[in-house]
Structure 1
């Protein structure tokens, strides 16, 4: 696939806002979801079920969680970098958490998401 079509594919994932059907439709069956060590529930999760497991642990710890994308940046034929901020809120406190996601697209589907994020801010908000 081209850099433009990979970027459009990754963009669809973010615009779906966590819709389980869209995640299952668009991602590779062997998706690797790699969350920064030190981030709440950081670790490596596999497949759409792993993504749902991750968010199933995270979401009960906050009142709300938004992902605000600031830019999509294709790199070569198989990678898309996404830059933005998470906006978790808990107990009427919210603080932006910077992130960069590196997506690898394989055989027309996002196959790997590698996250780099401000773990300290996220942990502080989740544990407040």
Structure 2
């Protein structure tokens, strides 16, 4: 079975590793980025510029590497795509963490407009705290 257009759009983001040319094309500038409490720099961010500056800009200095590996994609009839996967992280101190996540994306007019994230924040916090 082939991907729905919405699933294909979301899959493209993960397959690209969030490449800037892909994010510029498929993420809405007014994206709402909702990160679960307990996760580093959790909160709700408004706009892709804020996500880059205020979320990733504050979080990434704590890591040597951090990536999201998507494993399964599920779409509904309400323009949502659910993604199950794992974050793979190595902290600046060399601690490794594999953290389960689920992302709920909302698609509107061919753009990603909302992310709700839930993740096993405890595992990541343990790695950060050595």
Q: Pick which of 49-58 and 37-46 moved more.
A: 49-58
RMSD over equivalenced CA pairs, Å = 1.4
Greater strand fraction, Structure 1 or Structure 2? 2
Q: Extract unaligned runs of 5+ from structure 1.
A: none
TM-score (norm 2): 0.89
Answering whether residue 61 of structure 2 is matched by residue 60 of structure 1, we say yes
State the SS of the aligned residue for 1:95. Answer: strand
State the SS of the aligned residue for 1:92. Answer: coil
Q: Extract unaligned runs of 5+ from structure 2.
A: none
Once the two structures are superposed, the pairs formed by residues 13-32 of structure 1 within 5 Å of their partners are 13-32=13-32
Structure with the bigger RCO (C-alpha within 8 Å, sep 6+) is 1
State the SS of the aligned residue for 1:30. Answer: strand
Deviation beyond 3 Å, 4+ runs, structure 1: none
Give distance in 1, aligned partners of 2:129 and 2:77. 39
Query: By how many angstroms is 1:98 displaced?
Result: 0.5
Give distance in 1, aligned partners of 2:51 and 2:8. 20
Contact 1:24/1:48 (<8 A) preserved: no
Answering whether residue 82 of structure 2 is matched by residue 81 of structure 1, we say yes
TM-score (norm 1): 0.91
State the SS of the aligned residue for 1:76. Answer: coil
Contact 2:45/2:51 (<8 A) preserved: yes
Query: By how many angstroms is 1:111 displaced?
Result: 0.5
Give distance in 1, aligned partners of 2:97 and 2:111. 32
**How many residues in Structure 1 have an aligned counterpart in Structure 2?**
126
1:98 equivalent among 97, 100, 106: 100
